[in-house]
Amino acid sequence: MSDSPAEPTLAEQIAAQLRRDILRGKLPPDTAIKERDNAAELGVSRTPMREAIRILAQEGLVVLRPSRSPIVARPTVKEVHDQVVVLLALEKLSAQIACERATEQDLARLAELNEKIAEAYDQVDALDLFEMDMAFHRLIAESAHNAALAETHHAYLARLWRARFLSATMRRNRERVVSHHGAIMEALRARDPVAVDAALDQHLSNLAEDISAAIEAENAAAVRAGG
C-alpha cells in the first residue's frame, strides 16, 4: 500500500489530482469520471487514467458500475457512520496496544505534535489544522507498531477525509480538540489503557454526529440543486 516516494507514477499523480478534486468538492458526488474523456482532457492515455480510477475506487471515493461510467461516490449517512465506528475501534485498539508498545520516541513525537497543535490552533487555517489533527491520530496508530493495524487505520482515515473535513468546518470550538488531545496524550504517557479508551471515546464520540449532520446538509443541498 506504500508508494515509492521517489517519483510517483503518472497513474498515481492522476489519482492524487482526482482525489484532491473530489475531497475539495470540485468533483461533487455523482459526477461521472469517463476514463476516455477525462484522459483526453488531461492529455494522457486511458491506461494510467484507468489505473487511477481503480485506486480511487479502492479507496471508496468513486464507485464502479458495470457498463457505466464510474461516478464520484455519494456516501450515505449510514455508510459514513459505519466507517466512523470502525475507525474508532481501530484507533482504540491501536491506543490499547500502544500503552504497552509505544516507545519513548513515539511519545515524544506525539507530544511534539500536540504542542504544535496547541500553539497553532487559533492561528492557522482550518485545513492546516486538520492535517495536523490527522497526523496526530496517525501517530497513535503507528505507536502500536502493528503494520496491518496502522495501514487499515490510515485507509479509514483517508476514506473519511472529506467527511471529517466537512465536520471540522462546521465545528468552531477548536479548543475542545486541543484539550482532548492533551487528555489522550497524558493517558498514553501514563500507559493507562482505561484512561486512553475513555479519552478516545470522549474525543471521537461527537465526530459521528458532526459528520452525520454535515453529510445530511450536503445531501440536502444537492437535492435542492436538483442533483
4 near a copy of itself, rule: CB under 8 A: yes
Residue 106 site contact among a copy of itself, DNA, none (CB < 5 to 8 Å, cut-off depends on kind): none
Judged by beta carbon, residue 101 or residue 189, the one nearer a copy of itself is 101
| H-helix segments, 10-160 | 10-24, 35-42, 46-59, 77-101, 104-120, 126-142, 147-159
Out of 8, 37, 41, 89, point to the residue binding a copy of itself (CB under 8 A).
89
Cα distance between residue 22 and residue 31, in whole Å: 9
Grid cell digits, residue 163: 467527511
Residue 171 site contact among DNA, a copy of itself, none (CB < 5 to 8 Å, cut-off depends on kind): none
Cα distance between residue 83 and residue 156, in whole Å: 7
223 near a copy of itself, rule: CB under 8 A: no
Grid cell digits, residue 85: 465506528
Report how many residues bind a copy of itself under the rule CB under 8 A.
22
54 near a copy of itself, rule: CB under 8 A: yes
Burial class of 107 by CB neighbour count within 10 A (0 to 12, 13 to 18, 19+):
middle
Residue 46 site contact among a copy of itself, DNA, none (CB < 5 to 8 Å, cut-off depends on kind): DNA
82 near a copy of itself, rule: CB under 8 A: yes
What does the binding site for DNA look like in residue numbers (CB under 7 A)? Answer: 6-7, 9-11, 32, 34-37, 43-48, 50-51, 66-70
Judged by beta carbon, residue 120 or residue 155, the one nearer a copy of itself is 155
Cα distance between residue 83 and residue 172, in whole Å: 23
Grid cell digits, residue 66: 458495470
77 near a copy of itself, rule: CB under 8 A: no
Q: How many residues does the chain have?
A: 227
Query: What is the Cα 101 distance to its own chain's centre?
Result: 24
Residue 11 site contact among DNA, a copy of itself, none (CB < 5 to 8 Å, cut-off depends on kind): DNA
Cα distance between residue 62 and residue 44, in whole Å: 20
Query: Binding residues for a copy of itself, per CB under 8 A?
Result: 1, 4, 6, 51, 54, 58, 66, 79, 82-83, 85-86, 89-90, 93, 97, 146-149, 152, 156
